[in-house]
Amino acid sequence: MKIIILGGLGFIGRNLAETLCENNDVIVLDKNNDDSIKSSKCRYFNCDISDTKSLQHLLDGVDVLYHLISTTNPTTSAQNITYDIDTNVLGTVNLLQAAVNQGAKKIIFASSGGTVYGEPLYNPIDEKHPTNPVSSYGAGKLAVEKYIQVFHKTHGLDYCILRFSNVYGRYQTSNTQGIINIFLRRILNHEPIEIWGDGTATRDYIYVSDAVEALSKVAMKSHTNKLFNVGSNEGITVNEIIKTIEDITGIYANTIYKEKRSIDVHSNVLDCSLISEVYKFNPKVTLHQGIERILET
């Protein structure tokens, strides 16, 4: 199977590429050109999602195209909304057009279950929940979802959209996204932790190997359901994350509580029963196990 991973040197993409390259022809496209983090079993091309001319010849005969790229996060998207739209929404539309032109068979998009729904009407949140994002990031993710669905209707491009909860784990090095990895690094370095709100905000967190399993499963076959939540099915507060890290490391966290931000909903826990039913996917790694795995790497 010929597979392209857009953003294959990013956090999730790097984990996915290492898994899929064992039995597939995997091409990784990424703006990052760091040879030290590349696998010898994949092919790599330095490429931007907006550079459709360079992308076109690579898309020939592609069975599965993974779209894992985002140029912004929930915080930075609001700082330059025009850039967010140009690079993520318009960039994806150009990508979809190139994919259709070159005969790509299927696109799998990593969306955001933590932001597209907005303030929940109920928890856990299933795929039928209204989508009312409160951030530019969530609005952009939702717009990309809709354009993928349009290209399916108008051009027959097969697709699957995975609305992930908060993915964490190996290779996550960002200092602005991924609170488990950020908190763990800060606690180990005896640095203060800033918390927006009182620490009772609840999310579900999924370890990256479980996220990769979900991404792999939906590539193997198509289904009438093409949109799935992917999470751990367990709500955990920020304070509980800190307590778990303290218990594992034996280091007390220096926490600083700040006023809650308008872009943050208080509770977001995904109902993932649909992907469990359709693809027999069930996450395996607990929060405690996940943190221990990070410390081992």
In the chain, the domains with their CATH numbers are 2-166+207-230+271-283 (3.40.50.720)
Catalytic residues: 137
Q: CA dihedral defined by 68, 73, 77, 79, rounded to 10 degrees? A: -140
Cα distance between residue 165 and residue 211, in whole Å: 9
Residue holding tokens 């195209």? 65
pTM of the model: 0.95
Q: What is the pLDDT along the chain (297 residues), one digit of tens a residue?
A: 999 999 999 999 999 999 999 889 999 999 888 888 888 889 999 887 777 777 888 899 899 999 999 999 888 898 999 999 999 999 999 999 999 999 999 999 999 999 999 999 999 999 999 999 999 999 999 999 999 999 999 999 999 999 999 999 999 998 888 999 999 999 999 999 999 999 999 999 999 999 999 999 999 888 999 999 999 999 999 999 999 999 999 999 999 999 988 878 889 999 999 999 999 999 999 999 999 999 998
Cα distance between residue 44 and residue 51, in whole Å: 15
Secondary structure (DSSP) of the chain: -EEEEETTTSHHHHHHHHHHTTTSEEEEEES---GGG--TTSEEEE--TT-HHHHHGGGTT-SEEEE---S--TTGGGG-HHHHIIIIIIHHHHHHHHHHHTT--EEEEEEETTTSS-S-SSSSB-TTS----SSHHHHHHHHHHHHHHHHHHHH--EEEEEEE-EEE-TT---SSS-HHHHHHHHHHTT--EEEESSS--EE-EEEHHHHHHHHHHHHH---S--EEEES-S--EEHHHHHHHHHHHH-----EEEEPPPTT--SEE-B--HHHHHHH-------HHHHHHHHHH-
